[in-house]
Every structure is written in structure tokens, then in C-alpha cells.
């Protein structure tokens, strides 16, 4: 067994940090050490921000976005065109599209994609919420901005089928999105072009 070099509080910090995506045990150790060295300037404010976020984070009951208000900031923004809904897999995609600043619309966050292999079915996702939203009326266009993966496209087909009877135009991103590509990793120019050149289904 390896000899311990720190107390268990620091060990625990490292173990938790190692669970953050993008950090492994090695980066977690570096991050922990950096936080400890910047105890007042960084570690304290980070701990406070985390505690506040932990307490206040909500999932928007309308669109599935993550925010501290329900309905969320996007849903209550009067300067947006709420007759157009961009459907995304995850909040990270919403953020990516907002960074690209190509559209000024509403969103709908599915919370994943259909994946029979991983046991993810329609009821595990925020799909019914989308169909209900469109069925209530006042929606002109639904833009399916799901990733260009097999699961993403399966999900897009499922949604298209279930919106078929409703008076709404359904579009998807142009082929500027590489196959297998994830929106979050695209540069803003590509994302913005894919959105502007979207095609009707």
C-alpha cells in the first residue's frame, strides 16, 4: 500500500475532483494543490459558489434547461422568438449554440438521446414535454439540433414521427456538422452556419 502523504480531507478533495469530466487522478492532484495554494483567492470563493449553485440549481419545467429560476432565464426572455424551439440533447449544446449567437429563440433540452443499448427509452428523456409544448400551439418551427451520431439521428426520427400530426415546420442542422460530431466541440462559425443553412424534414 502506498504511503499517505496528506490528511484525509485533502485526499477526499482529490478523489472528488478526479470524478470531474476532463480531470483524472493526476490533474485532480494538481488542481487540489493549486486550490490549496490559492486558498483565499480561489478555494474559498469556489466553495461558496458551489454551495450556492448546489442549493439553487433547478431544472426548468418548460424547457429542461438548468438554471436557478423556473421557468428559466431563456424561457422568460421577452426578446426571444418563442415560436421557434431549438431541440438539443444537453445543456452544453444550448450553451454552445448561444455562444454561436446565430439565433434568438427558445430551446428544449432532451437530457440525452434514445439508446436502446444503454436502456434509454423515450420516457427517460424530456420528449413528451416537447410534444406537449408544440401541441399547445403557437410554435412555428422546431429545429432538431441533435448530434450527428446514430443515437442523435434515431432520436430526431422519433421526434419527427411524433410531431407529424401537428402544424409545425421541422428542420434540422445542415451538413456542416460532421458525422459523429458533437455540437459542443464545434467552433462557433461552423455551428452558426449549420443553423442558418438548416433544412426542412
> Which residues contact Zn ion by CB under 5 A?
60, 62-63, 65, 72, 75
**Can you tell me the distance from the alpha carbon of 40 to that of 31, in angstroms, rounded to the nearest whole number?**
15
**Can you tell me the distance from the alpha carbon of 143 to that of 201, in angstroms, rounded to the nearest whole number?**
10
Nearer to Zn ion, 65 or 105 (CB): 65
Helix, strand, coil % (nearest 5) of the chain? 45, 15, 40
Place of cell 494538481: 30
CA nearest neighbour of 88 among 102, 71, 108, 69: 108
Residue 46 contacts residue 35 (beta carbons within 8 Å): yes
- Residue 26 C-beta: closest distance to Zn ion, Å: 38
Cis amide linkage into residue 132, ω under 30° from 0:
no
- Residue 55 C-beta: closest distance to Zn ion, Å: 19
Nearer to Zn ion, 35 or 62 (CB): 62
Nearer to Zn ion, 92 or 149 (CB): 92
- Residue 69 C-beta: closest distance to Zn ion, Å: 9
Nearer to Zn ion, 63 or 139 (CB): 63
- Residue 72 C-beta: closest distance to Zn ion, Å: 3
Q: How many CB atoms lie within 10 A of CB 186?
A: 23
Nearer to Zn ion, 75 or 125 (CB): 75
Angle between helices 150-163 and 127-135 (to 10 degrees): 30
- Residue 161 C-beta: closest distance to Zn ion, Å: 25
Q: Rg for the chain (alpha carbons), in Å?
A: 20
End-to-end, the C-alpha distance of the chain in Å comes to 60
Nearer to Zn ion, 89 or 151 (CB): 89
- Residue 130 C-beta: closest distance to Zn ion, Å: 12
Amino acid at each position: 500500500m502506498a504511503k499517505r502523504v496528506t490528511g484525509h480531507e485533502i485526499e477526499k478533495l482529490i478523489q472528488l475532483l478526479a470524478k470531474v469530466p476532463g480531470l483524472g487522478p493526476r490533474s485532480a492532484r494538481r488542481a487540489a494543490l493549486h486550490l490549496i495554494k490559492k486558498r483565499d483567492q480561489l478555494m474559498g470563493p469556489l466553495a461558496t459558489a458551489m454551495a450556492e449553485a448546489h442549493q439553487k440549481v433547478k431544472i426548468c419545467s418548460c424547457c429542461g434547461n438548468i438554471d436557478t429560476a423556473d421557468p428559466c432565464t431563456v424561457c422568460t426572455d421577452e426578446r426571444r422568438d418563442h415560436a421557434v424551439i431549438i431541440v438539443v440533447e444537453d445543456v452544453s449544446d444550448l450553451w454552445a449554440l448561444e455562444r454561436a449567437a446565430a439565433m434568438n429563440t427558445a430551446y428544449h433540452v432532451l437530457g440525452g438521446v434514445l439508446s436502446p443499448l444503454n436502456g434509454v427509452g423515450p420516457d427517460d428523456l424530456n420528449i413528451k414535454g416537447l410534444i406537449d409544448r408544440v401541441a399547445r400551439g403557437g410554435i412555428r418551427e422546431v429545429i432538431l439540433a441533435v448530434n450527428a451520431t446514430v443515437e442523435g439521428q434515431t432520436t430526431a426520427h422519433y421526434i419527427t414521427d411524433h410531431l407529424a400530426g401537428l402544424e409545425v415546420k421541422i428542420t434540422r442542422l445542415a451538413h456542416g456538422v460532421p458525422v459523429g460530431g458533437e455540437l459542443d466541440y464545434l467552433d462557433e462559425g461552423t455551428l452558426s452556419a449549420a443553423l442558418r443553412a438548416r433544412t426542412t424534414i
